[in-house]
Structure 1
Amino acid sequence: MNELILNLKEDWDIVGPVLYLLVPATFYILALVGGKKGRFFFILGLLCHLAGMFLRAKTIGHLPLTDKHDNISFMALVMAICYPFLKRKIEDEGLSVLMLCLVCFFLFVSVTERPLNTISPFMRSPWFFIYIFFYFTAYALYGLSACVGGYYFISRNDYHEAVQYKLAMAGWVSFTLGIVAGSIWFFVAYGMYWLWTSKELWVTVTWFYYAIYIHARYIKGLKGRPASVLGVLGFAVALFTYFGIGPGKIIQSPPTQF
């Protein structure tokens, strides 16, 4: 009997986090109907998403920000929280559909990552959680920026391109804070601020890419389609940095703070 209970608990440790994400994703999809029903389903999805994060934290005994499963889920949560503000600001049903689809996409990506219930003692530093919070908040803002920028190709509305730029700038600031906090945590944990591995190199490339885009957009007056294309490509660079580099990835790199 005890063995059966133990097996069920082990199964739930795997199945539970998946359900925590699939349920809100279902409600987010239902929110695409629009109108009052859409708002109701979105709020229900957001509450389920928050509840899932809370239950996940209760299960593992700390903030659920320590592995890819949780980090990607957090990124989707930040996107979902930003969604109603952008919807009110832009008021375009087509863009609303695109943003919700992006949220659901990353929830499904999160489901494909196996949740981990253990944490390294080095990750118990407050600096680690500060770093993860800002780092993946930046990814969420970059994603929304690319989403708005992609929709600009359809709408040709200059206001959409301006919103894309502002979201990218907010993401870049958050990304910068994440890099600073991550470097401090790495120094506290391992005695050094930075390792010039492939991962850190591409984090630097991502930071400079967005810095150049923001600078060109603000100082040089780069606007319209060229600026929008640069912004969308920036998110592709950021995604490659996160998913394409590391042990066993496209570009090999040892595990680092990023």
Structure 2
Amino acid sequence: MESDNTLSCLKGGGLAKMSAPADVHALVLSDVLGDELSAIASGPTVADATTFSDAIKVFTDKQLWDKLPVAVQNHLQQGEQGAVSETAKAGDDIFKHAAYTLIGSNAISVQAIMHSADTLNYQRHLYSDQLDGEAKEVAKDLLQYAHALLTKGMDKPLAVLAGGETTVTMQGKGLGGRNQEMALAFAIAAEKKPLAADWVFLSAGTDGQDGPTDAAGGIVDAQSITRMHDAGIKTEQYLANNDAYHVLQKSKDLLITGATGTNVADLQILLIQPNTKLSQSGDHNV
């Protein structure tokens, strides 16, 4: 972000600076966990703490300085020497005319799901609203959390909710995304250590695209593994090849929404119900 801000007229408070003394009110849609304003779209209307020296250090540490165009090198060096103004800092008068409203974020989305779970009479549990880590490992952790909840008994159906953005360390050449990988990993883990109840698990990107695919993510259930095995799929081999897309496609567990026109990171929903069947086979098109 240090390099972005120092090379942009708009980022790092640049928009507020260019607009002053006019009033600016930013409507902020955040895909940044924690909603740090300076990190959302590189903070065009808020103060920036980074400097030209920070940017030079980033390029130098990553051994990229010599690969930069001469014009970029000159700009950064002139900025470090004071010949070019730094980005707008906290306390600058321009921010007296700048305001913002956070209109959407992952946390807001999770809160909305929690409200829906309450309305539908689920006993809801927030696993995390800043979910990160390796997708397939997070899936195992979620399953373990669900098992712990079930040991306490169920007065009513459970909803385990999470939001954030996990990662996938690519080791294979398959097709998929972090949400599809998490869904497949959860189904595999739940086969090895079954939940004593019927369940459905969804992991999806709010922008409608998970990885380089047409799927938003995956939605698996207690019968997904059976459908995969019936299709002749060796699930763990596909997971190791990072090929969750083709597994979920064959078991009809892809979640297809199309582009949503927004992006507030990812959402996970695990519904657990001991009596009424939640699971069903079929394409999950929205």
Q: TM-score, normalised by structure 2?
A: 0.27
More helix by share: 1
Structure number with higher strand proportion: 2
| TM-score normalised by the chain length of structure 1 | 0.29
> If you compute each CA radius of gyration, which structure gives the higher value, 1 or 2?
2
